[in-house]
Amino acid sequence: MILRMSKSFIFFLLLGLLAPLAISSAQGPEPNRFLVTFRTQDPIERTALMTRGYALWGATLNDITFIMTSEEIRALDYSPPPRIQPLAPPPDFSGYHDYAEMTSELKALAAENPQIARLQSLGRSHEGREIWAMRITDRPDENEPDEKTILIFANMHAREHLTLEQALYLIRDLLENYGVEGEVTNLVNQRDIWIIPNLNPDGTEYDIRSWENPMDPPMWRKNRRNNMNGTWGVDLNRNFSYKWGCCGGSESYSGGETYRGPAPFSEPETQVIRNFANQHPDLTISFSLHTFGELILYPYGYTRDDLPPDMDPTDLAIFKAMSDGLSQRNGYQAEQASSLYIVDGDSDDWLYAERGVYALTWELYPPTFDPGFYPPDDVIPAETARNRDALRYGIALADDPAKSIGAGADMIPPQITILSPTGNEPLFVHAPITVTVAVTDNVGPTTVEYLVDGEPVAVRVAPDFSAVLTLPAGTSELTARAFDAAHWQTLSAPLLLTVIDPNSTPTPNRLYLPLLNR
Ligand code: 0X9
Ligand code: ZN
């Protein structure tokens, strides 16, 4: 797999990082710009308009369009009056959430799921926006000492908008499937899951609001610190304190795309991650979501050496196994972070070196520069759902990441047998069927999921796993899946159950129904 990473691929990734330099590094506060379209079929007239010094957006044989400020529009004297539209991202970007849309969606999801979800602010950005975190766990107001914490944070880089959608997807997956699917129910009950969908709200809003020419998105990366010298922004992924600025993997020039900031943890946004890790010593795994490249990156980023003195060989094996496990589930390529390029002061190096967290960076869709940071919104459903199993796998590992190399404290899955019904007794439609199971586990089973023809129909949590089901007439296959706290799972042997409808008298036609239904 690693060989697939050709030199030109690396070149494109570097281009992705460096190309925006010229465009965006010195942009000031939010502009106030409009698309102004003058209707004229006269090329001389269009040329005259062009020489007035407005920023050209495009022209057809019927009109010419400029990007203009409200001051320029007010000073206009032109007949017939031009068409004026606020500059906005192209319509096929509207499926992405801006900050206000994200905030209201998060508030609604928390309000609809009070049993397992809490929305809280972990701090404020430079411009005062709340940095929201959704906590998802079975007792969201308590700290359960036996439950480990996983942190997933997104949109640290402003233009990496798909990452916010990925975080929202994960939140919805957990909230919608809790109590419906055994896997999600067990994960939410046994882990403390924290999701920060947007760590850089100022940068993200700036990237959306200053999008003037749909063909030329702003590509804003950093936060919106005013560097007080005409330049704006710190690269949050160069502002963490571990080996800050050590190795040529960041810039001291404040206009640079990878400006590391005036001091380690100078930024309120990086302080959110530092404070979270300090306040949650049981944090075992973190995922920092970025775009793009379809990669899973593990520490270190500051050196090309995969086993420097500050990397434990067992940890390296765990990082590789975790990354491979994720890669198998989403098709991304697993690599040491520095194989992309050297980075110093990134979140993962600090989280691992200073707090012992198995910290990974995901570079989401797309694989290459086209469509890069701005894929049309119709890719959101498939490209976020693609990570469902990888995310669940990561959450499952959080109790003990050493499980990935077979060295976890609990490596023994539960056992489960369906005791009743047996399949020999007569079963009637509309008559409730009590299902009982025998479940054993070395630590203790936590969840049982019942499936009819492979579809989950009921979820039960310890101590009472029995369920009452009603089945349709005909033959169904019943199975039960047991989980333990380490999220090992075992599916029972299938049981075929035939359910009779006593009210239906066989008629000759009935014989043909199965054929007709084909
Ligand atoms: O440069 C970054 O911060 C990340 N890539 S991005 O294109 N999303 O900006 C990569 C960080 C991964 N870490 C290292 N390469 N050390
Ligand atoms: Zn990034």
Q: How far is the CA of 243 from the centre of ligand 1 (A)?
A: 15
Name the residue among 16, 8, 1 with its Cα closest to residue 370: 16
How far lies 389's CA from each of 233, 284, 489, 490, in Å?
35, 19, 15, 17
Q: Which atom of ligand 1 is nearest to the CA of 16?
A: 7
Going by C-beta distance under 8 Å and a sequence separation of 6 or more, which residues neighbour residue 11?
none
Query: The sheet that has 63-69: what strands, in order across it?
Result: 55-59, 63-69, 33-39, 83-86
Helix axes 182-190, 162-177, angle to 10 degrees: 100
CA distance 460 to 446: 9
Catalytic residue among 363, 425, 449, 477: 363
Contact 289, 168 (CB under 8 A): no
Q: How far is the CA of 326 from the centre of ligand 1 (A)?
A: 18
E strands, 130-279, are 130-136, 149-154, 192-196
Top mutation candidate among 12, 21, 157 for ligand 1, by most atoms within 8 Å of CB: 157
pLDDT reported for residue 90: 65
Name all residues whose Cβ lies below 6 A of ligand 1.
Answer: 16-17, 157, 160, 237, 290, 297, 301, 337-338, 340-341, 343, 346, 361, 363
Predicted pLDDT at 77: 87
Nearest CA to ligand 1 atom 5: 290
pLDDT at 505: 57
Site of tokens 């775009």: 291
Question: Angle at Cα 442 formed by Cα 115 and Cα 434, nearest 5°?
Answer: 60
Residues, CB within 5 angstroms of ligand 2 (ion): 157, 160, 290
Across the 518 residues of the chain, what is the mean pLDDT of every consecutive 10-residue run?
Answer: 29 34 34 81 84 77 83 90 78 91 98 98 98 99 96 98 98 98 98 99 95 78 98 98 97 96 98 98 98 96 98 98 98 95 96 99 91 91 98 98 98 98 93 97 98 98 97 96 98 97 63 42
Joined tokens for residue 503: 């009210």
Provide the pLDDT for residue 64. Answer: 86
Q: Look up the pTM and report it.
A: 0.84
Q: 434 by DSSP, 3-state: which?
A: strand
Residue nearest to atom 16 of ligand 1 (CA): 301
d(CA 469, CA 434): 6
